[in-house]
Amino acid sequence: MTNIILIHLLPVIVIALRGDIRSSMIVTTLSIALLALYIPPTLSLIVHEMIYIWSFIIFYIVGYIITIQAKRIHLNSMKEILYHTLSHDLKTPLSSIMGNATFLVETHPLDPALRYKALSQIIESSRQMNRLISSLLDSARLQDTQTPLKKEWCDLQDLIALALREFRSDVLHERVVFRIENDIPLFFGDSSLLMRLFVNLIDNALKYSDNAKAIEISITVSKEKLQILFFNECPPIPQEELDNLFKKFYRAGNTADISGSGIGLSIARDITRAHHGEIRAFSSDHGIRIEVTLPILKRPASLDMETL
C-alpha cells in the first residue's frame, strides 16, 4: 500500500516543481481521488480509516510547500537574469562613454578626425543608454497594473517617424525603406508605448544586420487588424531561436557582443500584448521578419470631411 501511495505522490512533486499553485492543487486532488479507488472499500471514493485521511492531508501540504519553494527559486533566477542583463546592457554604453571621455582628457589627441570619432562614440552610446532607460521605464509602467494604458487616437506612421528620430541620422544612413498603404486609420492605443515598441524593433533590426543593408518597414491594414512588418537582412537564424527571441532577456546564441537585444524584444512583446496584439518572428530566405499584429478594437468615428 505504501508503494502505491508513494507512486501517487510522484506527479504531485513533478507538477509542484513548476511553481504554479493552481495546477499543483488540481494534480494533488486528482491523485488523491485515484488513490481513494484503491483504498478499501475499493472502487469508491469513500475512505474510512483515519490514517488514509492523514496521508491525503500530507499530500496537500507537500504539494503546497514544494510549489512555494519552486516559485521562490524561479523568482530568484529571474532576478539574477535581470540583474546580469541590466548590468551588462547599461555598463557597455557607459564604458564606451567613460573610455572615450578619459581618452580625450588624458591623451589630448591632436588629430581632429580622431577627436570627432571619440566624441561621436560618446553621443551614440549616451543615446543608446537613453533608449534603454526609457524602455525600462516604460516596461515598469506596463508591469504596474495600477496605471492603465493612456489610450488615445494614434497615427502609427507618425509614431514610426518619431521612433526613427531617436537614432542618429548617420547611423540610419538612409537605410530605412518605408512602405505604407495610403490610408492607415488612426489606432486607439498608448502612443508613447507604441513609439517605444517601434524604437525597440528598429534598434533590433539595426543590431542584427550588416551596416549597409536596407531595413524595411511596412504597414498594411485589413478590416480587423493593422500589421506592421520590420525586415532586415541577416544570416539565417534557426526557428527555435526565433521562437525564444521574445522571451524575457533571451539573446540569440551567436550574438554575445551585441548589447541590449534581450530586454528590447521582450518589452516589445509586452507592449504588443497590452494592446491585445501579437508579435512573431519569421526567418525568410535572406533575413528576419518581425510581424506585429494589432487588432482594431475601436474605430474612429467617421468625420464629415470637408470638400474643397
Partner 1 sequence: MKPHQLILIVEDDEAISRLLQLAFTQQGHRTLLAKNKQSALREIQTRSPDIILLDLGLPDGDGKELIRTIRSQLRIPIIIVSARSDEEEIISALDEGADDYVTKPFSTNELFARVRSAQRRFLVHNTSSSIITCDVLQIDIEQFTFTKESLPIKLTPTEFNLLKFLMLNRNQVLTHSKILKEVWGIGYQHEMQYLRTYINALRKKIEPNLTSPTYIQTELGIGYRFVCNNPN
Q: Which chain residues interact with partner 1 by CB under 8 A?
A: 126, 130, 134, 137, 152-155, 157-162, 164-165, 176, 178, 186, 191-192, 195, 300-301, 303, 305-308
CA 41, chain centre distance (Å): 53
Q: How far is the CB of 166 from partner 1 (least distance, A)?
A: 11
SS3 state of residue 183: coil
Dig out the grid coordinates for 24 from the structure.
Answer: 499543483
Dig out the grid coordinates for 56 from the structure.
Answer: 491525503
Q: How far is the CB of 188 from partner 1 (least distance, A)?
A: 9
Q: How far is the CB of 308 from partner 1 (least distance, A)?
A: 5
Beta-sheet pairing, 151-154 with 176-180: unpaired
SS3 state of residue 97: helix
CA 120, chain centre distance (Å): 30
Q: How far is the CB of 219 from partner 1 (least distance, A)?
A: 12
- Euclidean distance between CA atoms 61 and 16, whole angstroms: 11
- Euclidean distance between CA atoms 113 and 111, whole angstroms: 5
Nearer to partner 1, 192 or 209 (CB): 192
Q: How far is the CB of 262 from partner 1 (least distance, A)?
A: 23
Beta-sheet pairing, 176-180 with 215-221: parallel
Dig out the grid coordinates for 143 from the structure.
Answer: 508591469
Q: How far is the CB of 97 from partner 1 (least distance, A)?
A: 12
Nearer to partner 1, 50 or 303 (CB): 303
SS3 state of residue 222: coil
Nearer to partner 1, 113 or 308 (CB): 308
Q: How far is the CB of 146 from partner 1 (least distance, A)?
A: 16
Nearer to partner 1, 13 or 180 (CB): 180
Nearer to partner 1, 160 or 221 (CB): 160
Q: Are 25 and 61 in contact (CB under 8 A)?
A: no
SS3 state of residue 91: helix
Nearer to partner 1, 32 or 154 (CB): 154
Q: Are 250 and 118 in contact (CB under 8 A)?
A: no
Nearer to partner 1, 20 or 166 (CB): 166
Q: How many other CB atoms sit within 10 Å of the CB of residue 21?
A: 15
